[in-house]
Amino acid sequence: MKMSQFSNLENADWIFDNSFQELEGEIARGISKFWPAKLIGPMVPSSYLDGRIENDKGYGASLWKPLSEECLNWLKTKPKQSVIYISFGSMVSLTPKQMEEIAYALIGINMNFLWVVRDTEKCKLPKGFIESTEGKGLIVSWCNQLKTLANQAIGCFVTHCGWNSTLEGLSLGVPMVAMPQWSDQMTDAKFIDEIWEIGVRPKLDELLGIVKREELLFCLKEVMKGEKSYEIRRNATKLRNLAKKTVSEGGSSDKTINEFVNSLNLACYMKYKKSLIAFV
């Protein structure tokens, strides 16, 4: 099914990509040799970027029923950049062993954390973990990710590197710990770690097929307070500013959208003009 989405690309006049020139311009130029890729991202609600569109605060749909303001109220009690936010999206199901390793890494770093764990996955947490981390940690089955990432208390984002999550974290300037699971997530993680340098990627234990607690603990420390922390945050802030600039008036994505609208207007005008000639 996924492959069929790309079967007719050569017949399209415009193909919109949720990225932006300053982030992946070179890649887009390469792709444009094969089909007309146009970068119009990041497609993050305006209130989190340039603020030009009033009341544009969300995507208008959610897979999960929103909870109360529990997450945001809890974050209000935490210092700036002191919270580790962990979310693996709506589809990833980690093994009990991987959940255990993450849990013990969080115990080891002894810092505030907010971990999104679906109700069906909570049985994989180590016995007594929730009780032992009360006060330091908050485990919820859902949270508004954009509002969470935008909160000043968030210090880093442990993510599965799905493109939406990657782009949200990047657009809001949040350093990341990349733990990809499949598909394009592997590529996204490589860019986070090696190309954009806005985070780190823990090494996988090839024998066990998981990230072990010691490795994750090292990476969390590196992003939150290690030698690379300042450089990572500086790079993340730089990309956040570029994301804001590209969707602002006159930015590269803004120009592309205007070009598309003008193209539609011209096409409609030519069709209308042709119909008038035919009528005469």
Digit-coded pLDDT (tens) for 169-216: 999 999 999 999 999 999 999 999 999 999 999 999 999 999 999 999
| Same-domain check for residues 32 and 165 | no
Asked if 194 and 171 sit in the same domain, the reply is yes
For the chain, give the percent of residues with pLDDT over 90: 71
Q: Terminus-to-terminus CA distance in the chain, angstroms?
A: 47
More confident residue, 53 or 220: 220
Q: Give the count of domains, the chain.
A: 2
pTM: 0.90
Same domain, 263 and 160: no
Q: Is 49 a member of any domain?
A: no
Long-range contacts of 260-267 (CB under 8 A, 24+ apart): 260/14, 260/38, 260/40, 263/13, 263/14
Residue 276 pLDDT > 60, yes or no?
Answer: no
Q: Are 214 and 148 within one domain? A: yes
Alpha carbon dihedral 143, 145, 151, 153, in 10-degree steps, equals: 70
236 shares its domain with 255: no
Q: What value does the mean pLDDT take over residues 247-269?
A: 90
Q: What are phi and psi of 134, to 5 degrees?
A: -60, 135
Separation between Cα atoms, residue 168 and residue 45, nearest integer Å: 10
**Residue 120 falls within a domain, yes or no?**
yes
Q: Is residue 107 part of a domain?
A: yes
What pLDDT, on a 0 to 100 scale, did the predictor assign at position 67? 56
Q: In whole angstroms, give the CA distance from residue 130 to residue 234.
A: 33
On the question of pLDDT at 270 being above 80, the answer is no
Domain that holds residue 28: 3-41+249-279
**Is the same domain home to 135 and 184?**
yes
261 and 176 share one domain: no
Take residue 16 and report the two structure tokens written for it: 């919109």
Question: How confident is the model over 163-172, as a mean pLDDT?
Answer: 97
Residue 28 lies in a domain: yes
